[in-house]
Amino acid sequence: MKKKTIQDIDVNGQKVLVRVDFNVPLSSKDPNDIITVTDDTRIRAALPTLNYLLDHGAALILCSHLGRPQSAADSQFAMNPVAAALSNALGRPVIKVDEVVGETAAEAAASLQPGDVLLLENTRFEAGEKKNDPHLAAELAAMADVYVDDAFGSAHRAHASTEGAAQAMRAKGGPAVAGFLMGKELDALGSAVTDPAHPYVAIMGGAKISDKIKLIDNLLNKADKILIGGGMANTFLAAQGYNMGTSLVEQDAIPEAQRLLEAASDSLILPSDVVVAGEFAADAASEVVDVAAVGANQMALDIGPATLHNFKGQLQGAQLVIWNGPMGVFEFEKFAVGTNALALILAELVDDGAEVMIGGGDSAAAVRKADLTSKMTHVSTGGGASLELLEGKELPGIAALDDK
């Protein structure tokens, strides 16, 4: 990795501003309720970085966004429940202030001693956060000596607490470095972009191709093959002239699909059969049909067994696999078969020595649902950020960190 991490700097006696991803699920959206954190996975995921810094003599100033508040008036998104869950996970007290920046926050930060932990209010309570307001960024950086970004999932947005705070810290002569979570993402996904092992097979699925044309283009340059399933495959099949019935097909994207097929007809591998239903429902009656035999009133909701068999063959011997996008409507158990079977095939490939990386929010959720997260080489925590990185884009939150 070409960016400095917390292991490259001395944090002893320093105040460290850490941008974490504490965007956790809450028990209620009603400000009159007692709101609690219902899943502290993201808080626990930050512990290696936080404990490392504390063990090395730092005092911590933590900040994160939480939900989508319009302003500080959306008090149901206050960080108080996060402070409680964090204190529980860390096993030490957490000081919480009710502002992101300002006199109270600055005073609390100034009186921190090594080992102390301060949690600032929801960064999106400040209008300047999403605008990457340099004054907000400077006020954040002013409270600390060091900036650490451990929120990979927010790295594709130039916000005041990400890109802005890193720049502001550098402007005042302090280091801006990656935490362990960020470092792990960059090592895993970064190597797939810059120095992929071969044979390299990409698997793409999900709902739409229009969101992912740039990603497919970039993968076509790097990967030896791309296997296509899910709703995305319908648009490719329609571009080949198949009648896809009532399936999700993006008519507007058909010319792009045709261009991709012409550019890479040998390396784009499409389904040969699909699971179809008469309606979009969890309990819809279904059957397996050849892609040439989709009825006018049928929609494809999963890949079929012949396709899976072919995909398995195509994956044999792969050294690197990147997967983005479920093979079907995995939210419905009945149409999760292709996605689950593929996840299992990939878990076996890891046992055979391949590197398998999963990017995308729904894809990570599908692997989690199949209970195979721990079997994969890497399951990215950043939905949009992982896709933009794989597109070959420079993410502003990462670009702003100090080079090694």
Report how far residue 38's alpha carbon sits from residue 45's, in angstroms, rounded to the nearest whole number: 15
Structure tokens, 322: 């990147």
Residue 214 annotated as catalytic = no
Quick one: CA dihedral 83, 84, 86, 90, positive or negative?
positive
Q: What is the DSSP letter of 162?
A: I
List the 299-303 sheet strands across, edge first: 286-290, 273-277, 299-303
Task: Please check whether residue 390 is in contact with residue 322, taking contact to mean a CB–CB distance below 8 angstroms.
Answer: yes
Angle, CA of 161, 165 and 171, to the nearest 5°: 170
Residue nearer to Mg ion on the CB measure, 177 or 370:
370
Residue nearer to ligand ADP on the CB measure, 87 or 243:
243
Q: Which of residues 362-401 bind Mg ion (CB under 5 A)?
A: 362
Residue 36 one-letter amino acid: T
Nearest distance from C-beta of residue 280 to ligand ADP, angstroms: 8
Structure tokens, 351: 């046992």
- Which three-class secondary structure state does DSSP give residue 177? strand
Nearest distance from C-beta of residue 335 to ligand ADP, angstroms: 8
Binding-site member from 78, 329, 337, 400 for ligand ADP (CB under 6 A):
329
Residue nearer to ligand ADP on the CB measure, 62 or 276:
276
114 interacts with Mg ion by CB under 5 A: no
325 interacts with ligand ADP by CB under 6 A: yes
Residue 23 one-letter amino acid: N
293 interacts with ligand ADP by CB under 6 A: no
Quick one: CA dihedral 391, 396, 399, 402, positive or negative?
negative
Q: Which of residues 220-259 bind ligand ADP (CB under 6 A)?
A: 230-231, 248
- The number of residues that bind Mg ion (CB under 5 A) is 2
Residue 361 annotated as catalytic = yes
Q: Which of 67, 102, 190, 361 is catalytic?
A: 361
Binding-site member from 67, 114, 361, 392 for Mg ion (CB under 5 A):
361
Residue 384 annotated as catalytic = yes
Binding-site member from 249, 301, 357, 367 for ligand ADP (CB under 6 A):
301
Strands 95-96 and 59-63: unpaired
Residues lying near Mg ion in the complex (CB under 5 A): 361-362
Residues lying near ligand ADP in the complex (CB under 6 A): 205-207, 230-231, 248, 300-301, 324-326, 328-329, 331, 360-363, 383
